[in-house]
Amino acid sequence: MVPRAGHWGCLVLEVTAALIQLIPSGCCGSLITGGHEVTPHSRPYMVSVSFEGRHHCGGFLLHVHWVVSAAHCFNDRDPSTGLLVLGAHALLKPEPTRQVFSIAAVVRHPSYQPTTQANDICLLRLNGSAVLGPAVQVLGLPRRGARPPLAGRRCRVSGWGFVSDFEEPPPGLMEAEVQVLDLNVCNSSWQGQLSPATLCTRSGDHKWRGFCSADSGGPLVCGSRAHGLVSFSGLWCGDPKTPDVYTQVSAFVAWMWDVVWRSSFPGSSGCSVSNVTISAPYWGRDE
């Protein structure tokens, strides 16, 4: 199998003799498959990562200075040319709620593996401070090391992915409701190639539903917390034969807060995983 005509820019990784393809969803394809447009600014944590004036990946606001996104979004990209757009709904229309920042730093997880997309997560530092309000809010995390949502749980994934193969942008932020899939079942569809710190979803019915192009880095929200981070899918968006794969956020909560707190103290030695116990902020009960 090869990418469809016109999609020569996709990163395709041969993981089995059957040529199953792991395609980062920030590179090619269509839309939040089988989804709908959300009420404007009802997902105030969503962030658009853009390059050269075009939406490239998604993300979510973790802290007034930090955004969470997928590490693969910055493969072969110069972060200094990127912008972080907060408070948006329709990216091609002027909106008074919008806040735009440049990227002051990109901190990839130290164990990120581009060839397998394992540990596909990064933190992006804003070059200023987000102003929180009705259209811009942080999104809560699960407890550090919390178990992933049980199979069958309904969650939602959002993004500004294209709505056609001609790269037609969506009218606004799109969202789809999906169902968590047992990781062992999902891994069998991916020939056992998934890392343990992943999470999978499917439509839960006979329809094709899920994420697609330019949705990478966006959160999978279960209840009121980010439990997944869009990582990769198959060649055909929403195809149940290749379930959507996310980075499991709870496995990286300690690392994320470590980065945030180290950046708050001048003279701290870098942004790496610490061996000490981190007292991270936590909002309410676990979802």
Q: Give the tens place of pLDDT for each residue, 108-163.
A: 999 999 999 999 999 999 999 999 999 999 999 999 889 999 999 999 999 998 65
User: Is 60 exceeded by the pLDDT of residue 8?
Assistant: no
Per-residue pLDDT at 34: 73
Task: Looking at the structure, tell me whether residues 129 and 145 fall in a common domain.
Answer: no
Residue 78: φ, ψ to 5°: -90, 110
Task: Looking at the structure, tell me whether residues 146 and 239 fall in a common domain.
Answer: yes
With tokens 């919390």, the residue in question is 146
- The mean pLDDT of 257-283, rounded to a whole number, is 54
User: Is 50 exceeded by the pLDDT of residue 15?
Assistant: no
* Percentage of residues in the chain having pLDDT higher than 70: 78
CB 161, CB 213: distance < 8 Å: yes
Please pick, among 25, 69, 89, 120, the residue that the annotation labels catalytic.
120
Domain-located, residue 246? yes
Task: Looking at the structure, tell me whether residues 27 and 87 fall in a common domain.
Answer: no
- Provide the b/e sequence for 129-150 (b: ≥16 CB within 10 Å): ebeeeebbbbbbbbebebebbe
Task: Looking at the structure, tell me whether residues 60 and 124 fall in a common domain.
Answer: yes
Domain-located, residue 8? no
The whole domain housing 175 covers 13-38+141-250
Task: Looking at the structure, tell me whether residues 106 and 245 fall in a common domain.
Answer: no
* Percentage of residues in the chain having pLDDT higher than 90: 63
Please pick, among 213, 216, 231, 233, the residue that the annotation labels catalytic.
216
247 forms bridges with which residues in the sheet?
198, 229
Please pick, among 65, 72, 89, 109, the residue that the annotation labels catalytic.
72
pTM: 0.83
Per-residue pLDDT at 167: 62
Among 49, 93, 55, 91, smallest CA distance to 71 is for 49
Residue 107 binned pLDDT confidence (cut-offs 50, 70, 90):
very high
Per-residue pLDDT at 14: 31
Domain-located, residue 162? yes
CATH code, domain carrying 201: 2.40.10.10
The verdict on whether 72 is a catalytic residue reads yes
Per-residue pLDDT at 161: 85
Per-residue pLDDT at 9: 31
- Domain tally, the chain: 2
Domain-located, residue 2? no
Task: Looking at the structure, tell me whether residues 171 and 241 fall in a common domain.
Answer: yes
User: Is 60 exceeded by the pLDDT of residue 76?
Assistant: yes
Task: Looking at the structure, tell me whether residues 199 and 118 fall in a common domain.
Answer: no
Domain-located, residue 3? no
Position with higher pLDDT, 20 vs 34: 34
* Distance between CA atoms of residues 47 and 29, nearest Å: 20
CB 21, CB 29: distance < 8 Å: no
Largest Cα separation within the chain, whole Å, is 54
The highest-confidence range among 166-170, 185-189, 252-256, by mean pLDDT, is: 252-256
